[in-house]
Every structure is written in C-alpha cells, then in structure tokens.
C-alpha cells in the first residue's frame, strides 16, 4: 500500500503534537488513569464519567490530531476527523443513557479488556521503549491508544456483572474499524506498539459478530 506521506512526515506530526500539546497530553494521561482506577473501585458510581471521558478523548483526536495536524500530510484525515467526531457523539449519548457498569464482566473478556486498558495507559512508555525517540513518538491522546483504551473498557462492560449480555454494539463499531486502519501503522510504518491495536480490532470485530448473530437469533 502506497501512503500519501513519508515515515518522517508521519512521525513529524507526533513531534509537533507533543511540542504543542505536552501539558494537555500529561493532563489527559493523569485524568484517564485516575478515572480508570476510580471506576475499577466503584463501577456503579464512576462508569458514566469514564464513558464521557472516552467521548472527550475521541473529540480531542478529531480536532487536535486529525483536523489540526494530520490533515497537513493526509487528505483522508478529514474523513478520520469526522469518524472520530461521530464516535465521540456515540459515547456521549451512551454516557447519558448508560445503565451498564465497567469492570463487571467476568472471564476471558474481562481479562482481555483489563489488559488492553493497562496497555493503553502504558502506551507512551512502550512506544519510546520500542525505539521511537521523543518527541517524534506516539504518546497519549492520539488515535491508537485512544482506540485501544476504548476497546478495553467496552470489553469489561456489564450491569451487575453480566458483561456479554449488555455489550454496547454502536460505540464499539468505530473502535473496531480503527483497529484495522490505525493498526496498519504497525506494518506499514513500523509502529510496533500498534500491533496491540490490530489485535484489539480483531477481537472487537469477533465480539461484534457474535453479538449480532445472537441478537438476530433471539429476534428470529
């Protein structure tokens, strides 16, 4: 696949993002880590707030990363910006209506979800450890760790412990799609940290297919 930009241009966008927004990046990481811990300790009280925070992260990506920066080297970033804005609206809507609670699922999905959440929070450090020199390294508040975090959180969803029956379909579609779009950077641009995103996208897609099949059988 031929990309409309070079690897140097791609990583240059991250360098500019980190130089311009470094106070916001640090604040977003701290707030997100705090929200995850708070929700882990009290799912009933804090899950709604975490959903709204996820919505803000997707909106932040739509404007600060895609529209403001990535459009300079990739015209498709306008489409990505719109996609991320739609996802933000879906999450804000889910937060307004949400009855389910995070970190209440059990079994393999819970383990996978918690693992992805932890990976998303560690993503900036993993990125640097894998050879990307700061500031030209993907850190926090950019699309890939945001999608990993969202997929991880959604996999742990459940009202009173029943995660699979309450899985939110609509807010999961765009993160699954981005798992393949953003995850392609792992292969095409040697962003090794994004192999986890590719795997998360595959897992979310499989879960969505199972959810839709079960819902179709239940209606039939």
Instruction: Please report the pLDDT score of residue 161 as a whole number.
Output: 39
The residues spanned by each domain of the chain are: 7-219
State the pTM of this model.
0.94
Mean pLDDT for the stretch of residues 55-77:
98
- Which of 142, 138, 166 is closest to 154 using CA atoms? 166
Mean pLDDT rounded to a whole number for the chain: 92
Weakest mean pLDDT among 18-22, 54-58, 98-102, 166-170: 166-170
Q: How far apart are CA 80 and CA 62, in angstroms?
A: 7
Mean pLDDT is lowest, of 49-53, 167-171, 179-183, for 167-171
Tally Cβ neighbours within 10 Å of residue 186.
Answer: 18
Confidence of residue 160 (pLDDT cuts 50, 70, 90): very low
Residue 1's pLDDT band (boundaries 50, 70, 90)? low
């Amino acid at each position: 696949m031929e990309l409309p930009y070079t690897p140097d241009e791609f990583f240059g966008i991250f360098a500019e993002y980190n130089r311009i927004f470094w106070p916001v990046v640090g604040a977003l990481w701290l707030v997100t880590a705090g929200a995850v811990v708070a929700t882990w300790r009290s799912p009933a009280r804090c899950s709604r707030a975490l959903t709204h925070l996820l919505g803000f992260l997707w909106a932040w990506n739509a404007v600060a990363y895609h529209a403001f920066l990535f459009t300079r080297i990739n015209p498709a970033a306008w489409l990505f910006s719109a996609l991320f804005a739609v996802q933000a609206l879906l999450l804000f809507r889910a937060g307004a209506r949400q009855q389910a609670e995070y970190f209440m699922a059990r079994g393999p999905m819970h383990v996978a979800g918690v693992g992805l959440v932890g990976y998303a929070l560690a993503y900036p450090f993993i990125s640097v450890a894998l050879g990307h020199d700061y500031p030209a390294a993907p850190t926090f508040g950019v699309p890939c760790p945001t999608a990993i975090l969202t997929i991880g959180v959604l996999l742990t969803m459940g009202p009173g412990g029943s995660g699979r029956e309450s899985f939110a379909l609509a807010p999961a579609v765009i993160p699954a799609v981005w798992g393949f779009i953003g995850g392609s950077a792992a292969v095409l641009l040697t962003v090794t940290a994004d192999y986890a995103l590719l795997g998360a996208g595959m897992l979310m897609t499989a879960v969505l297919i199972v959810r839709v099949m079960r819902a179709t059988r239940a209606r039939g």
